[in-house]
Amino acid sequence: MNELAHALISTSAFAAPSSILEDIPDAQAHKKPAAVPHSIYAEVWHMAYWQDISLDWVSGKPTPVPEHASEGFPSNHDEPWDQLRTRFLAGARNAAAIANDTDCLDTIVACPTIGNAARAMTVRDQLISLAAHNAYHLGRIVLLRQLLKNWPPPSGGYSW
C-alpha cells in the first residue's frame, strides 16, 4: 500500500479513520458540545459528502460543486449513524484502492468549481486533496471525542 492509500484508510500521520470512528455510540455521535459548530455525525456526513464528490470526479463524472457551504453539512440526520460511518469508510477504502492503482494516478480529471471553469487535476492531486480534507475533519472528530471523554478508542489511537 502506498503512502497516499495509507493516508486515506490506515495509520499514517494519525490514527486510522476506522479507529477514530470506532465505538462512538449513536447519542454521542449526535451530541454537540457547547461552542462547537458540528457534531461528530455532521463531521462524518460532511466527509462522506465531499468524498463522494471527489470519487465522482476521479471516475470522470462531472458532479457539480454545491453553491453554498451549508449544503456540505446535513440538514437532517435521517441516515442512521452506523450506516453513515460504514458508508464513509467504504468510500475511503474505494479511494485507497484508486490510490494504489499507480497506472491511473497521473490521469487528468475535471474538478468543477463555483462560477469558474473546472480545474484540471490529476487523480493523484484530487486524492491528496481528499486525504488532507479527511485528515482535517478526523482531527476535529478526535477533539470532539476528547471533549466527550471518549478517547482513545478501544483499538488505540494517539493520545499525546
Q: How confident is the model at residue 159 (pLDDT cuts 50, 70, 90)?
A: low
Look at residue 21 in the predicted model and tell me its pLDDT: 98
Whether the per-residue pLDDT at 158 is higher than 70: the answer is no
Pairs from 99-102 (Cβ < 8 Å, separation ≥ 24): 99/2, 99/4, 99/5, 99/8, 99/124, 99/127, 100/1, 100/2, 100/5, 102/2
Look at residue 54 in the predicted model and tell me its pLDDT: 96
The per-residue pLDDT for range 15-28, each reduced to its tens digit, is 999 999 999 999 99
Look at residue 14 in the predicted model and tell me its pLDDT: 82
Q: What is the mean pLDDT of the chain?
A: 93
The per-residue pLDDT for range 120-142, each reduced to its tens digit, is 999 999 999 999 999 999 999 99
The CATH code for residues 3-147 is 1.20.120.450
User: Please, what is the Cα angle at 157 between 10 and 128, to 5 degrees?
Assistant: 35
Q: State percent of the chain over pLDDT 90.
A: 76
Instruction: Give the cell for residue 6.
Output: 495509507
- Please state the domain extents for the chain: 3-147
